[in-house]
Structure 1
Amino acid sequence: MEAILRDQPTFGFGVDSLNPHPPRGIEAVGGKTKESLRGQVMQLCPRVPGVYGMLNRTGELIYVGKSKSLRSRLLSYFADSSSDEKGGRIIESTRAIQWETQPSEFASLLREQQLIRRHSPRWNVQGVPKRQRPVYLCLGRLPAPYFFLSAKAPADCVAIEGPFYGAGRMQRAIDGLNKVFRLRDCSQKQLFHFAEQLQLFDLDHRPGCLRLELDTCLGPCAAACTHEDYQLQVSAAESFLDGFNDEPIIAISEQMKRAAAKQQYELAASARRTLQSLEYVHRKLAILAKARREYTFIYPVNGYDGLNTWYLIHGGEVADVAAEPRTEADYEGLKPKLRQWRAVTKSSIDRGHGPFPHTLALVASWFRRNRDEKRRTFAPENVRRRFRASSLIVARS
């Protein structure tokens, strides 16, 4: 495989569900040496936003990235300064590079996230030195929900937040959360017996672990609580995920102070590590909660190629997308979708119930880093005014 012809990639990225414009083609180059790949990238790759994929000798997609300047980003892999473990090992395994242009940096971010979730390239999710793998903080698993971590967001949970980074740090956080809220953390194979469950004989259900005796679990396995009692604790745990409950921070902080006062320094150090993990989680949850409360609007994004896009942001998530109307006919054709947008934004959004819940952290991060961009947004009810203003600008130009 000395070279791959343009427009004939060995691996398709697939449909872009957040692209309202005509499908964008993929270009690819291939070669047995880094010098060959670099020369083709320099000759063919444009300086525009987009996503790229690295393929190994068998045509497997091993890495996905994005950039606001594809040519500059791809050439950086061949620089001597990029011969570190991550960039160097990726490019050493690469025999072909493909790219797909995007109209904007924001579109590139969304597309990169979509591709990583869809294809799970191994260099994006494992084996990359100094890279922390993303994990989701989940509250679920009936009949007695509890906090646990998952590499991918499960569909059958009470609540899911993330992604968070640092599996070790997050494991300490969920251990602390389950203990503070007195939720179980045992296997799904454990049998549960709530206090209100009827039984023919008066049986003494033994707990599956020591946490009931330590008063860090309500003991749903040993009929030590009712289902209602347990559900109250689950609701309190939900409020923590919503960013409104700092009980775990206070509880672990007090535990650390008590241990230090009693000169139990190892216990105090352990509590301090747990506290630091919980503070990280709480800070991020507060950011996500702020995005849910404040980010409901239409975000217009101009494309370098004139393909402008309107993103409906609802409850901090990308809820829908449409091509910006250029003519009165375009606007008339878009009216049914705009009516739907107005109806959607009038109702509140529950956690993770939008069509693209995984975009919440991306949207929150984008507007935190690009604060001026929020000034360009507008409410769905102001669409007509926005269209008229943009039409006047086009007419004058």
Structure 2
Amino acid sequence: MVDDQPPTSNPDAKKILGFDHKTFLKNLTSKPGVYQMYDKNGAILYVGKAKNLKKRVSSYFRGSGLTTKTVALVSRIHNIEITVAPSEAEALVLEHNLIKAQKPPFNILLRDDKSFPYIYLSDGEDHPRLSLHRGSKKKRGRYFGPFPNVSAVRESLNFLQKVFGVRQCEDSVYRNRTRPCLLYQIERCSGPCVNKISDHDYAADVEQTALFLEGKNDNLHQSLVTLMERASSDLHFEQAAIYRDRITALRQVQAQQVMEAGQRNMDIIACAIAPGASCVHRLYVRQGRVVGSKNYYPKNKLDNSEADILSAFVSHSYLGDSGMDVPPYVVLSHPIPDAQALAEAIELHSHRKIQMTANVRTYRAKWLVMAEQAAKLNLQARLNSAHTLEQRYEALQEALAADETPGRIECFDISHSSGESTVASCVVFDQNGPVKSDYRRFNITDITAGDDYAAMEQALNRRYSRLQKEGKQLPGLLLIDGGKGQLSKARHVMAELGIQEVELIGVAKGTTRKPGFETLIRADGSEMILASDSPALHLIQQVRDEAHRFAITGHKQRRDQKRRTSTLENIPGIGPKRRKELLQFFGGLQEVMRASADDLAKVPSISKKMAEEVYTSLHSE
């Protein structure tokens, strides 16, 4: 989806179109289907699906309400081709196939198209083999997974080799053995190639391996206990010891499972977005156990929402031919509008039912929180990576036409609730990312409530007069979250302090007050608007958003602390004991506030004179 964005005025939309859209729309069907947008050279721009083609395609050509990036897409359209589908679900399948084949630049694209690894247990042989498998599942046997990566498969195979001893050697090696290999010597294989184990016992080991891979640990544990007791009763103590060791290993691996509940297979998928970047984190839950996770960083050319990215991700993952199994249950961090159609399309494609939800409780809610936190942290790490920051700093230097990149950036923001508990924040970035040890908060006092200009002036004065006094490093670039008024205060403070080497930039919100439409105001009053996909703007947004977060956190802490403090605590002569008696006598602070001086004097420990003082204090200006 590309038009579910904040509205902006677009009076020149009709002038930039490259073909006769009015005639095209007049003859367009209202049936479900897929539309493909092409430029003047015949190159694909965008592929989309629609429940109603006429309504959906018409939305691109309205006179207002389109984002800047959508206008850029529409301005390049030279031709649109339509494919009608029997249903919205089948349109979704077709959309997925076209996106995968054509890779349109304006669609959300996921580059990781490799098949997922599995553990393969062969079948139809006297001595089945365990191995890693990736690709189409054509061979006869059982496939367990998918696993998030090859390392997880190798770790599992290593455990299975130590515990159950099922062979993992290539068939060519197995058929040509005449004596046991080294794995048999170190007790990692039971040696079926040279008949060191009977077919019956080997089949039992294979079955136990399968039970473990299916997550049926309770069944496996009970089976091993029965076998151990039987072997012990038959005086086969060596065999009983083998079963005992397997039980111990099984308990250890169960203890290592941090998250385990139920017996379901499901995927937990969370999305986090930031200016110019996004991260999707997937947790793999198999048989009630979290077996791994994986991060994806889809390209988001149109600043799509989390719901749009998740919809494209689910479509890519479960409608593709990458070998990804479709779990019966998928938990999403954000509800997606086309969930029902997407579920129908997946069932049509894979012949498996799938349930998608963003509303979960108990252990699934805990898993979802894990995935959401991981998505946010991994996205932040990617944004703060040396390569990304270097690109953004270089782009900022170019945008500001500076001789060198600003080595240190500081940003100020103000936060309050209708003037209450005003807090200013200062965050610091250098070319390695946030310098959190240099972050500062300022509790603003002695100003008119709600006066952001005065709050900004006070915070800047306190910050830079102290830096000057202590001889500490000044920033190369100072960002002020606000417009010309706040920037004017910053210029005044810097002039008063004699600081001339710091470049000042005001970051004013655009008319829509949405990310991507900021206006940058320089110290000389000139304004600059960077493209919404500019790495320089993304760096400024990142620093500004961090200052905003830091200010809000400080304001909430100060406000909550103030509200937790009883009004009675500031009255002379009213200590903890009298405070408790007042509250108990009247049943709460509100009733104390309503009480007259005579009513207050009825409290045993409150004299008439003290009652008058309490009443005066509670009702004074």
State the TM-score, normalizing by the size of structure 2.
0.26
Higher relative contact order (CA 8 A, sep 6+): 1
Q: Which has the larger radius of gyration?
A: 2
State the TM-score, normalizing by the size of structure 1.
0.37
